[in-house]
Amino acid sequence: MNNEQLKARILSFEPSAEITEGLQYLTATIASDKLYALARNLRQSNDTAFDYLFCLTGMDYGDSLGVIYYLESTILNHQLVLKTVCPDKEKPVLDTVCDIWKTAEFLEREVFDLLGINFNNHPDMRRIFLDEEWVGYPLRKDYSDNNTIVR
Amino acid sequence: MAEFIQDIQQDEYLINMGPQHPSTHGVLRLVLSLKGETVMSVQPHCGYIHRGIEKMCERLTYPQIIHLTDRLDYLSAHINNHAVCMAVEGAMGVEIPERVKYIRTIMDELARIASHQLWWCSFGMDLGALTAFFYGLRDREPILDIFEESTGGRLIQSYYTPGGLMKDIHPGFQKRVKDFIKYFRKKIHEYDTLLSGNVIMMERTKGIGKLSKEDAISFGVTGPSGRGSGFACDVRKHHPYAAYDKVEFNEVLRAEGDSFARYSVRMDEMKESMNIIEQLIDNIPEGDFAVKMKPVIKLPEGEYYQRVEAARGEFGVFIHSKGEKYPYRFKLRSPNFSNLSALHTIAHGQKIADLVAIGASLDYVIPDIDR
């Protein structure tokens, strides 16, 4: 599918999606409560068939936290970037996509560990790199640690 | 951990494999739940060498970051740096000279061969074939010498820089590379006669540790491990960069998905890498080895993503820039981290001794997992 067709298809799944032509990939920004349904549709529908999540990254935008999903279809060979933002920075919560793409289980644990975003329905929401007793989320912009971070 | 202990059944027991265990090739701790000798579940515990490289990069300029990405998957140091350099060059809109592209491609492939050689060493050693270890290290030495001569580094080179290379190649580079390929084409037969056809080795790898193609895609298992399951994921083929669109090579695929398939993909990839180098080595164009970049590189605002094929799979660099000399967010997609996430699925129901062979066939490098 080319970008135009893909755009139309995403809008047919979710009319509220905001779609921009990014520098490299088509980018769809979507509200956090609509994300799971759209992701499942993109995975299951035969004409989109996004079966490979090649990157999942958490973001601290300063006033909000979000997650970016890089998707590819190994069958149709097209790519898409999904973006979402947690509505509440104090209690950031998103729905997990690890039942759609299994690789998300570890990647979401990493985001939880370093940015403190909780994922609903995740089977094993624990820290992955840091100790269970670690206080704070190091990749957040307001994280401070006088011993290890030199300003 | 506490919840996990409650999950296990009465007749299962837990053992720790690692963090100090020879077959994990670094500090990786696997908590195994066993029923007799059968592995019921594998819980990887990462983070023993988590250095916070992504956080550190937020306070480093782009030319400085090169020296940290070396230290992720140190066996494909060149290739990791290639991803960062291309991300920066792409964002700046810099067109790099053909000469640089050729040299980078050759260096990448040399790194891939060296990495697969070391994997072959440790694969043999994990299965008890110590001779393999000496053979592999013997043949890896000439590549390290080539690296040393041109870059000054043996394991970690920091040779690429945004805009080109740190230094031009040594005048004897082409001859030494050609000598090495001539030498290694003979020696790789020894690998096959020593290990590939060995009965014990086949008994321990054929049909062991199966990963289906669907699972490989879903878990994002890339590189030789993914291609052993039939997942066509070679970034060099599907999204060509540098000089890969100018060379002919096959994407090595196996359908079986077991440990032996992953083994044979790597063996064939070494031969493919030699083919790639041979097509390029005599045709390195004349020209500059770097373009002049601004002393302070400031990426325009935006998000950039660059994928490359490292020795263990797809390596990705994500940069979110706010127009400053430091990246606002720097994310590394490391192949080993995704490959590790499939370990439970692969090892479930296998014998504990086979877990060592599975781990060897997945070929993980721990600093790349922990970052």
Please state the domain extents for chain A. Answer: 3-88
Does B299 contact chain A (CB < 8 Å)? no
Domains of chain B, each with CATH number or no CATH: 2-370 (1.10.645.10)
Scored b (16 or more CB within 10 A) or e, B254-281 reads bebbbbbbbbbbbbbbbebbbebbbbbb
Contacts of A139 in chain B (CB under 8 A): 54-55, 329
Give the whole-angstrom CA distance, residue B163 versus residue B86. Answer: 9
A23/B304 Cβ within 8 A: yes
Are A102 and B52 in contact (CB < 8 Å)?
no
Alpha-carbon distance B46 to nearest alpha carbon in chain A (angstroms): 5
pLDDT tens for the 371 residues of chain B, in order: 444 555 666 677 888 887 887 777 778 888 888 888 888 888 888 888 898 898 888 888 999 999 988 888 888 899 999 999 999 998 888 888 989 999 999 999 999 999 999 999 889 888 888 888 899 899 999 999 999 999 988 888 889 999 889 888 899 899 999 999 999 998 888 888 888 888 888 888 888 888 999 999 999 999 999 999 999 888 998 889 888 988 988 889 988 889 999 999 999 999 999 999 999 999 888 888 888 888 888 888 888 999 999 999 999 999 999 888 899 999 999 999 999 989 988 988 889 888 888 988 888 888 899 88
Q: How far is B9 from chain A (nearest CA, A)?
A: 18
Residue to test with chain B: of A73, A100, A103, A115, most B Cβ within 10 A: A103
Nearest residue in chain B measured CA to CA from A143: B55
Angle of the B130-151 helix axis to the B173-191 helix axis, nearest 10: 170
How far, in Å, CA of B88 to CA of B163, rounded? 8
Cα–chain center distance at B267: 14
pTM: 0.89
Residues of B in contact with A105 (CB under 8 A): 341
DSSP per-residue string spanning B31-42: EEEEETTEEEEE
Q: What CATH code is assigned to A3-88? A: 3.30.460.80
